[in-house]
Amino acid sequence: MECKYIYGIIEASEEKLFDLCGSAAYEKVHTIPYQDISAVASDSSFVEYTTLPKDQVARYLLTHQQVIEKIMDSHAIIPMRLGTYAFNKGEVKEILCKGRRKFKDILKKIENKIEIDVAATWNDLNSTIKEVGEVQEIRELKEKLMSRPGGVSVEDQIKIGSLLKSVLNKKREKISSEIRVALERVSIDLKAHDLMDDRMIFNAAFFIDKVRKNEFEKELDALNESYGGKIDFRCVGPLPPYSFYTAEVKKIPFSDIEWAKEKLGLNNMATKEDIIKAYRSKAGIYHPDKNINSSDAERQFNEIFRAYKILLEYCDGNACLPGEKEFSQNAIVVKVRE
């Protein structure tokens, strides 16, 4: 099936073909405008990413990110989630229409801003563990246990290991806090990422002004020097604001919307406040705690909650969209993860 693959959203009001040299994957990347914003898109066959092996998904993700990062050279861009398709140009314009208010607001926030990802790891974890093992608290525990007549038991070894881990985690938290404080001074925002393994001390994305990039890098250099080579810093960027703003499109079948409206007793012009009131009223009637002897109460309650979630997604601001005639098949919901 031929579709439009959407990489991201930029501020532009005209159709344009981008000259992104370097790979056939970049051919025919173009804009699809709606008023003063545009989707950056290309013609593509539909791919169901959820069924692909991880290595194939990684290749698609690389191309997706490379296109976005090339566009970033000339435009502030809101990245789209990997695997965002529209059936045709008309549906792309529906997406832009539905999300325009959000997109315009975010494009202002990211103008002349970049993301830089920073990870810090122990240069030599074994040496660090050995160093931590010489902390007075651990040394005293070892001496106490080793002085026992029976020597060190398995239980004692577990106790030492547990204390060692606790002291190492405190050291990690202290260094992580120092890195965070130093880099936050030259940043607008920060998003912490999960630590990938025991070697990792710190992993986060920073949202910064382009003009402060050199200041940011100097802070990193100063941190690197202050730890005397015991910590490795990895810095990736400048990047589009992947960690702070990523747009996604969800299509809700109209049959689901009609079912949800019927379930909550609402019409097409229901507001967000009407949906909340209807949900609270129905939930109060069917809550399992109030219907202990009813075998059907839990099912009814779960359906009411599902209907509530569907309609909240369908709502655009305070007023829901008026009806099916605005869309060909599905209600398009545009979200931006912040």
Report if pTM > 0.75: no
Q: Is 316 left (phi over 0), alpha (psi -120 to 50) or beta?
A: beta
Residue 154 belongs to some domain of the structure: yes
Q: pLDDT (tens digit, 9 = 90+) per residue, 21-78?
A: 655 555 688 999 999 999 999 888 888 887 888 888 888 888 899 899 999 988 999 9
Residue 244 belongs to some domain of the structure: no
Residue 281 belongs to some domain of the structure: yes
Q: pLDDT (tens digit, 9 = 90+) per residue, 78-133?
A: 999 898 888 889 889 988 988 888 899 999 999 999 999 999 998 887 777 777 66
Q: Which of 111, 131, 166 is the last residue of a domain?
A: 111
Q: Which of 87, 111, 135 is the last residue of a domain?
A: 111
Beta-carbon contacts of residue 35 (< 8 Å; ≥ 6 apart): 13, 96, 100
Whether residues 121 and 30 fall in one domain: no
Whether residues 83 and 147 fall in one domain: no
Confidence check: pLDDT of 306 > 60: yes
Separation in Å, CA 319 to CA 274, 275, 315: 9, 10, 6
Whether residues 154 and 264 fall in one domain: no
Domain of 209 in residue numbering reads as 115-239
Distance CA 164, CA 176 (A): 18
Residue 288 belongs to some domain of the structure: yes
Whether residues 227 and 272 fall in one domain: no
Number of domains making up the chain: 3
Separation in Å, CA 5 to CA 81, 94, 128, 226, 309: 11, 14, 48, 46, 27
Residue 34's CB: how many other CB atoms inside 10 A?
Answer: 19
Cα–Cα nearest to 242, from 71, 67, 115, 62: 115
Distance of CA 136 to the CA centre of its chain: 42
Cα–Cα nearest to 227, from 307, 122, 145, 329: 122
